[in-house]
Amino acid sequence: MRIGEVASAAGVSTRALRYYEQQQLIVSSRSAGGQRLYAPDTVERVRWIQLLYAAGLSSRTIVEFLPCVHSGIAGPEMIARLRAERDRLDEHMRDLAATRARLDSVLTAAEFGAAQSAGEAAGV
Give residue 63's domain range.
1-71
- The arithmetic mean of pLDDT across residues 112-120, rounded, is 79
- Cα 20 from Cα 26, distance rounded (Å): 6
Q: Are the C-beta atoms of 59 and 23 separated by less than 8 Å?
A: yes
pLDDT tens-digit map of 90-108: 999 999 999 999 999 999 9
Q: Pick from 49, 37, 52: which is nearest to 12 by CA?
A: 49
Residue range 62-85: average pLDDT?
Answer: 88
What is the mean predicted confidence (pLDDT) over 74-99? 94
Residue ending a domain, choose from 71, 98, 114: 71
Residue 5 maps to which CATH number? 1.10.1660.10
